[in-house]
Structure 1
Amino acid sequence: MASTASLRDHLLNDLQGIPGTREFHLHVLVSSPRKFQGLFPFAQPRPRSYLQDILVLLSEQSSPDSPRILTTAIEASVYNIPATSCAIFYVSKVDTTGQSTSPSPAASLVRSLLVYYADPATRPVSADHLWIHLFARAQSQYLFPNSADYAGKRPLSDVKLCTWWKRVLTEVADGVNPRGTCESLIKLYYMLPGYSQLEAEQSLRRATAASSDATGTSWTYGHPYSQTEIPLPCPAPSPEHNLGHFIPTFEDDPKSRFMDEIGCTPDAEGIRSPPRKRLRTLAHGNAADVPREAAAEKERQGGKEQRILGELGKVSADEFWERMSFRQECVAGAITGFFTVGISRRSPQSAPGISPLAPLPGQVSCQLNKRVLSSLMTGLEFSTVERSIKATETLEGSIRGLCEGMTPIPTPRPAAQTRDSDRRTPEPELSRGLLAPPSTPPRRGDAYVADVSPNPFPEPVTSLETYHSHIYGTVCVSNTALPPKVQTGAEAAAGASTGGPGPNVTVLAVRKKKKRVE
């Protein structure tokens, strides 16, 4: 049976090892499972899947008398596919405000969250195989509006962000095996579109002093859709399968946009006009035309799904990734990375009769999760310390109020600060004025059909007891602080070029030698 261990307690326990002295305040929102048919919209038949939303918010205090400040936020999704006993953990966004005490807790928080779902002993989803997916794209801000304006925030560059994710995922893979009595089968894949394997390895190696593979964990440069050791989430019927059985569709993901274009591309014969309907002439005795019209209509209905597939049946996985290197998100001047981790280890058998839609204790409704995320993205800002303190107080008070059944309204921002540009996450500077920012277009045609069948379980009702037992938690950390970091010559030059702080330089005055007068 899937573990009912609290995600909040697991994260708080791992935060205790962070160096320094401070107090962390954690809010964890996990929605109850709901039916979702958009994970493999082009698969035939579509596998039944269940979706959960995850939102993790971390704030900290440097001392008991200081105010709280939000420092880290994680948005993720978990998909459960019972047909193949697989689960997909998709990391949508990770962001920081840059106002945390050094070292930042972001890496520890992300690693702890991934290990919680990767390890079958703690995984709250009944699945034998877990796939972790993420798309690494460097931006100045993701979840904290206007945090890019804070002078202390130092976003990672494109290469360093890919290196950071590779190192974190390596630590996740190394942390899963020692926890169990038997070894797990772990496969790690990554791709930097537009780069060969040698170029990708050299780029990531130059971005860090220590190799991310120092632990011996093996990475494969490529995609996981050709391997057969770990089952893929979507069962692919043979021989009639297409690319839609392999690549999952996520919200605001470049792979999803490309899949949508390929799936709706007409065949080589071009777009045809709909056939003209023939008039029924029963009154004139041409009854033989009716069966022919019915057969033609049936043929048109039968070919409808085939037209939706477009070129998905002709494009292989290797060709798909080769063409991805020419996509807008991958040629805008910055390196992007796709990371996939497969972990296979049989989990304890779930008790018979338990529905995958059954909510676990502490889970909230998806609407509550969406309201908190919308409040974070549209009604708050983190450009200064004072505004961050106010935003933290507003958001944490809203979460508590929603759990108590109240609906607090965030303090409205001044009119001068409510421009549309303030409500959107800006694109990288390199893409401004060159290419339009990518966005997920609406689904075309009948490629996506929503499942409207009712959920047999009611939406969870939160309370103050749920808030204190599963959502909110705090932990005091008092560990030895890290020694001051010594900058190398390259780091000092990089800091000087970006206006960042460099090492202290002592300027020596040179005394001129007096000339002797003879």
Structure 2
Amino acid sequence: MNLRDHLLKSLRDIPGTREFHIHVLVSSPRKFQGLFPFAVPRPRAYLQDLLVLLSEKSTPDSPRVFTTAIEASVYNIPSTSCAIFYVSKVDTTGQSTSPSPAATLVQSLLTYYADPATRPISANNLWIHLFARAQSQYLFPNSADYSGKHPLGDVKLCAWWKRVLTQVANDVNPAADVEARIRLFYVLPGYSQLEAEHSLRRATSSASDAPAFIWTYGHPYSQTEIPLPCPAPTPDPHRNLGHFIPSFDDDPKSRFMDEIAYTPDAEGIRSPPRKRARTVLHSNDADVPKEAAAEKDRHGGKEGRILGDLGKVSADEFWERMSFRQECVAGAVTGFFIAGISCPSSPSRSGMSPIAPMPGQVSCQLNKRILSSLMTGLEFSTVERSIKATETLEGAIRGLCEGIAPIPAPRTTPNTNTRAVDRCTPEPEASRALLAPPSTPPRRGKEYVADVSPNPFPEPVTSLETYHSHIYGSICVNNPVLPSKTGTENTAASTEPATHVTVLAVRKKKKRAE
């Protein structure tokens, strides 16, 4: 079962009567060396981009409108048989019929990669990373202006992610003769373990029927049960913080790692270490004494150099100092969640090249083009604009699969809207084409070098067959509607007798007469 069918299958049990339409874009693997840019040597990794777009029709005659979008990345590290699933952004438009399908869709996507029976890559260990930060909008521009959108608050969002990952851990179903090791970790920067547990417990609206996994408050870089993605260097003294913390786009951990690696000490920029005199005056490198070569590797050698304070800051200190970062002290609670799942993947995928494209995958350029069109050329502030944006983007996906490159329609303002911002002079079309979604700036220094070696496999070519078999799909659901909470409370209040409450009065002690 491919990813599209797996997601559609999970949506069939959602309460209510509606019709879901999904678009799943998975790029082909490509070489990537920026996952652990400060590790020496850097491990070979392969990157895939994921974009899931879900639209909905409340009635058969109503138009489709986007309700949920998920952006994620999958990193495959064959040297350690590990994979990293990084959830970059999850967003909704607020225009879905209740209940929202966002939780079901996210949970199904993570389970597809966590379960060894459906995992599409050959890796025995999967690490799920995400950073929970509550914002009004992520992937749907101007969706925060829609009155029906009610995004979760900071603590409720962290509790929501913890509940989703707990359900994913429960859904992992390895083979009968295989034992799965599952470890869950989380950190709320600035909170102690007791404060974090109390805050998330209060934010949970209802108790889950699924058995609860034991969560560890902290990081996973001290445990040895599940192998870490980055292989340990030889010799071991060269191991530093860059071998533990992966770097993702638009992630606060990556920005902090850059500062630790490139920011000079408080005293200012240090002078370079004094060079030792050569004791043997020969041009042949073999005549250089071993002591001088070792000194060169420690201070100036490219292969053995540890940048900045990466060799001094431990993983415990890194997470403690994250509590003082701007992203974590801006007045809102944030959370880092990491799930480690260790169980052998399907034997049918062993022996395959990690860079070989699979059926249904698209080129990374097509994926980036659709994402850029979504975030820079469309608008979701009203129902009418959301319908138009959904039609434009879904047509663009189909057109790109057919070999046609449609240009998304520019933002238009209806005449009925008389806001001052809508009456301003429109921007030139050329300037709109140059807009790009915000992202983390490129790395500083000359340490990060992209892998320019050629790909032995050609880029996948999409077609209508690929579009109908792997990318686009739909499903109609007709299930009982969940009972209203308000109605349940009123019914309970009318049928149950009032509870008698006895108030105990405090008897005052009489003063003795002197």
TM-score clears 0.5:
yes
| Cα offset, 1:179, TM superposition | 7.3
Asked if the contact 2:41–2:303 (Cα under 8 Å) also holds between the matched residues in 1, the reply is no
| Cα offset, 1:412, TM superposition | 1.6
CA shift digits 1:59-104 (9 cap, x unpaired): 0101110000000000000000000000000000000000000000
3-state SS, counterpart of residue 170 of structure 1:
helix
Q: Aligned partners of 2:350, 2:56: CA distance in 1, in Å?
A: 43
**In the alignment, does 2:153 pair up with 1:153?**
no
Q: Aligned partners of 1:213, 1:162: CA distance in 2, in Å?
A: 19
Asked if the contact 2:185–2:339 (Cα under 8 Å) also holds between the matched residues in 1, the reply is yes
**In the alignment, does 2:6 pair up with 1:20?**
no
Distance 1:223 1:149, change over 3 A: same
Q: Aligned partners of 1:448, 1:114: CA distance in 2, in Å?
A: 30
| Cα offset, 1:486, TM superposition | 2.5
CA shift digits 1:457-477 (9 cap, x unpaired): 000000011000000000000
| Cα offset, 1:184, TM superposition | 1.4
Asked if the contact 1:20–1:477 (Cα under 8 Å) also holds between the matched residues in 2, the reply is yes
Asked if the contact 2:186–2:215 (Cα under 8 Å) also holds between the matched residues in 1, the reply is yes
Distance 1:275 1:225, change over 3 A: closer
In structure 1, what is the equivalent of residue 441 of structure 2?
Answer: 441
Asked if the contact 1:50–1:357 (Cα under 8 Å) also holds between the matched residues in 2, the reply is yes
| Cα offset, 1:439, TM superposition | 6.3
Q: Aligned partners of 1:487, 1:98: CA distance in 2, in Å?
A: 23
In structure 2, what is the equivalent of residue 482 of structure 1?
Answer: 482
Q: Aligned partners of 1:48, 1:396: CA distance in 2, in Å?
A: 35
**In the alignment, does 2:17 pair up with 1:39?**
no
Q: Residues 25-424 of structure 1: matches in 2 within 5 Å?
A: 25-177=21-173, 182-211=178-207, 215-237=211-233, 238-266=236-264, 270-272=268-270, 299=296, 302-304=300-302, 309-349=307-347, 354-414=352-412
3-state SS, counterpart of residue 259 of structure 1:
helix
3-state SS, counterpart of residue 186 of structure 1:
strand
3-state SS, counterpart of residue 172 of structure 2:
helix
**In the alignment, does 2:456 pair up with 1:456?**
yes
| Cα offset, 1:299, TM superposition | 3.6
3-state SS, counterpart of residue 129 of structure 2:
strand
Asked if the contact 1:205–1:211 (Cα under 8 Å) also holds between the matched residues in 2, the reply is no
Q: Aligned partners of 1:96, 1:109: CA distance in 2, in Å?
A: 12
| Cα offset, 1:233, TM superposition | 0.3
Which has the larger displacement, 307-316 or 143-152? 307-316
Asked if the contact 2:116–2:345 (Cα under 8 Å) also holds between the matched residues in 1, the reply is yes
In structure 1, what is the equivalent of residue 507 of structure 2?
Answer: none
Q: Aligned partners of 1:234, 1:478: CA distance in 2, in Å?
A: 47
Distance 1:247 1:486, change over 3 A: same
Distance 1:479 1:166, change over 3 A: same
| Cα offset, 1:263, TM superposition | 1.3
Q: Aligned partners of 2:377, 2:15: CA distance in 1, in Å?
A: 33
Asked if the contact 1:264–1:309 (Cα under 8 Å) also holds between the matched residues in 2, the reply is yes
Counterpart residue type for residue 481 of structure 2: A
3-state SS, counterpart of residue 83 of structure 1:
helix
Distance 1:123 1:352, change over 3 A: closer
Counterpart residue type for residue 198 of structure 1: L
Aligned residues: 463
Q: Aligned partners of 1:202, 1:488: CA distance in 2, in Å?
A: 28
Give the TM-score taking structure 1 as reference length. Answer: 0.83
3-state SS, counterpart of residue 71 of structure 1:
strand
Q: Aligned partners of 1:219, 1:184: CA distance in 2, in Å?
A: 16
Q: What's the % identity of the aligned pairs? A: 77
Asked if the contact 1:170–1:213 (Cα under 8 Å) also holds between the matched residues in 2, the reply is no
Structure 1, unaligned stretches of length 5 or more?
A: 278-286, 426-437, 490-518
CA shift digits 1:464-506 (9 cap, x unpaired): 11000000000000000111122999xxxxxxxxxxxxxxxxx
Which has the larger displacement, 239-248 or 371-380? 239-248
**In the alignment, does 2:9 pair up with 1:10?**
no
Asked if the contact 1:380–1:391 (Cα under 8 Å) also holds between the matched residues in 2, the reply is yes
CA shift digits 1:374-417 (9 cap, x unpaired): 00000000000000000000000000000000000111224756
3-state SS, counterpart of residue 64 of structure 1:
coil
| Cα offset, 1:454, TM superposition | 0.5
Asked if the contact 2:24–2:51 (Cα under 8 Å) also holds between the matched residues in 1, the reply is yes
Distance 1:388 1:89, change over 3 A: same
Q: Aligned partners of 2:476, 2:349: CA distance in 1, in Å?
A: 38
Q: Aligned partners of 1:477, 1:40: CA distance in 2, in Å?
A: 44
Give the TM-score taking structure 2 as reference length. Answer: 0.84
Counterpart residue type for residue 121 of structure 2: V
Distance 1:439 1:124, change over 3 A: closer
Distance 1:305 1:440, change over 3 A: farther
Q: Aligned partners of 1:275, 1:320: CA distance in 2, in Å?
A: 27
| Cα offset, 1:272, TM superposition | 3.8
